Structures are given as structure tokens and as C-alpha cells.
Structure 1
């Protein structure tokens, strides 16, 4: 029996409950396995690290046979480590659901302990986009001042190095430019319509039209 068995009928995957009246689904997606493997678990650096150590130990082995055995053992260990990281990347892809409606963004993630972060548009100041050559990209969401989610609660769905003012981030989503454009349109439409359908944690003036900026 999964956690979804306890949710009301009609609940979308990755959502804490059925959509309220007037709220509609705009998009759902998940991070790509390759994107998580390369940019979250830094697979290239891990591979380079094992190759470097294999070269160092092989150079000091004293004989060609011993050098080959030593380098082979280190590279085999590296391959096993990369396989483990690939498995974790795949699990991250399988267990993560990013949802965008006309009122909020929802991040549902967690391999062992799933957690759902509900981000009403009223709490989002602006968004950014960092695109990659394969068409995927990262979309960090800058929250309104005074709102903060612990970095460790968000990771790996958080903008790197933004710890004091954390930014939830849609990691390595396919067709990221289209998703970012859809988000900006939804945020602008919400700002024009007025009050959100879901509660806001802190009081704030009427939402201003957000802007899309390039991520660092």
C-alpha cells in the first residue's frame, strides 16, 4: 500500500489533494536522469577523481603488472560508484513530480520520505532560467522576502549556493524554455486576477507582475 492510497479520489500524482474549484493543471514534469547524474551528483568530477587516483597509484606501483592491477581496481571501484550515482539519479527522476497550476507550483520529491512543498504564486517573487545544450534547464523560484524553506529540506531541488535565502528549483526539466514561458504567463495572469485560492503564509500587497531573469 502506498501513500497515494490514502489520498482522495481524483488526486493527481504528486499533489496533496484534489484541485480546488477554479484551479486547473497547466504542466507536470520531472528532472531528467542524466541531468541529475551530471549536475546534482557531479558524475564527471567523480569520474575524473577516480581516473586521477588511478594514474597516481599506477605511476608509483613499480612494475607494469602491478600498475595495471592497481589502476584497474581503482577504476572498477569508480565504475561501481558511478553506477550507484546513476541509480540514485534514476530514483530521483522516478520519485519527483513538479506540478504547475494556474495558482501554484508544487514540488513533490523524496526517495525514502516523500515531501510535498506547496508554493502559491503569491509567495513567488520571480523566476529564472538556466538552459542546457540538450534543451533541459533549471528554473529557480525566488520567494518573497521573509519566506524561507530549509536548504536541506529542498535539496536537490534547490538553487545551488543560495543557502541564506533558499530558492526552490525545478531541476533539469525537459523543454525548459517552454516551461519557463508557461510559468511566466501563469504568474502574470495570477497577478492580474488578484487573490490566490490557497492560503498565504504572510500578508503582502497585491502581487506584482513577476519577471523572468537569467540564472547565474
Structure 2
């Protein structure tokens, strides 16, 4: 039995309440995730510079060691990124955003749309991009709890992030429309979202 086989709906901790429907689901692209979230190009470039420096200094053994270490490190990054793609599901419904994340420690985080103040799209080339979410209330989610699905360097006020999304512009529009609809139809009501803003941690 796989760890997510018990999910009643893929990417969600429980069945949808009455009136809630899924608008979009997706996962990170591991190639783009490696490059953008794990700084794969910078790390590969670092080891390449070490190898070139060793060659320029006449240390061919050091150059070989740098190349081997570089391949090993990049292999680990790629392996981690592929696991992230396999275990991550982002879901947008007409009431919330749900992040099912975690390679070793699995968790499901609910963010009611009513509490999302803004969603910032960062293009990553092609049709890919990241979407960082800013909430109007403190959510109690630590940076390490969210990482790598967190906006970089925002330690005091961590921002959940939908990473390395294909068709990111389309996803951002779906999210914007859903938030606008919630604001228009339920300006003074609490959303019935299971688990509140932190959601279930499994």
C-alpha cells in the first residue's frame, strides 16, 4: 500500500464538503524545480569553476574530484526534485488552496481563499512559474515546515509557494478568479474549510 492510497481524493485529506469543487490540480515540474528551487545551475557552475581552477593550477586530480563531486551533487538534487514531483499535489478549489507536500514527513496544508491577500507570479521561462501566496492573517506555518514550497528568504513571515508550475499564467488566473468570487459572494462569512489555515498534518 502506497502512503497516499488512503486519500479519498488525490491530494486532499478528506472528501470535499458540500458546495466545494476542484478547479485545478497540478504538480511541480522536476526539471524546472531543480533549476529554480534547488539552484541546480548555480551548483553545477560552482563545481565547474572548481574543476577549471584545478586544471589552471595543474591539479588534474583535483579537477577530476570536482567533476565527480559535481555529478554526485547534481544527481542528488535531481533525485530529490523527482521525489518532490511525485509526492506533491497542489489543489485549487472554489474555497481554498491545498498543498499536499513532504517527501519524508507528509502534510496537507489548507489555505482558505478568503485569507489570501495576494498571489505573486514569478515567471521561470517558457510557460513555467512560481506563485507565492500572501495571507491576510498569520498562519503559524514555519519556513522549515513549508520548505521547499516557501518563498526564499522570507523567514519571519513565511509565504507558501506553488513551485515550478507548468501553465503558470493560467493557474494564476484560475486562482485570481476564485479569490475574486469568494470576495464577492461571501464577504462576511467564514469558509467551511476542514482543518483551518494549517490543515491536517499526516
TM-score (norm 1): 0.84
Which has more radius of gyration? 1
1:101 alignment partner, one of 87, 93, 108: 93
> What is the CA deviation profile of residues 62-101 of structure 1, one whole-angstrom value per residue up to 9, with x for unaligned ones?
xxxxx43431232122112111111111111111000000
> Would you identify which runs of 4 or more consecutive aligned residues in structure 1 move more than 6 Å?
none
Q: Counterpart of 1:27? A: 24
Paired positions, count: 194
| CA spacing shift, 1:175–1:5, aligned 2, 3 Å | closer
Q: Which residue of 2 aligns with 1:120?
A: 112
**Mean CA deviation greater in 86-95 or 118-127:** 118-127
2:108 and 2:195 map into 1 onto residues whose CA distance is 16
Q: For the structure 1 residues 199 and 78, does the alpha-carbon distance in structure 2 shift closer, same or farther, using more than 3 Å as the test?
A: closer
Query: Which residue number corresponds to residue 2 of structure 2?
Result: 2
The 1:157–1:38 alpha-carbon spacing in structure 2 relative to 1, beyond 3 Å, is same
Is the CA contact 2:120–2:131 (under 8 Å) kept in the aligned structure 1? yes
* Closer, same or farther: CA 103–55 of 1 in aligned 2, 3 Å: same
Counterpart for residue 36 of structure 1: 33
Q: Please name the residue that 1:137 is paired with.
A: 129
Q: How far did 1:116 drift?
A: 0.7
Structure with more relative contact order (C-alpha pairs < 8 Å, separation 6 or more): 2
Contact 2:12 2:100 survives alignment (8 Å): yes
RMSD between aligned residues: 1.8
Per the normalisation by structure 2, the TM-score is 0.89
The aligned counterpart of 1:179 is 171
- Following the alignment from structure 1 to structure 2, what is the Cα–Cα distance between the partners of residues 78 and 47? 6
Give 2:192's aligned residue: 197
Q: How far did residue 56 of structure 1 move?
A: 2.3
- Structure 2 unaligned spans of 5+: 198-202
- 46, 49, 53: which one aligns with 1:52: 49
1:147 aligned residue (130, 139, 146): 139
8 Å CA contact retained: 1:106, 1:117: yes
Return 5+ residue gaps in structure 1 as ranges: 62-66, 203-216
Q: Within 2, Cα distance between the matches of 1:123 and 1:199?
A: 14
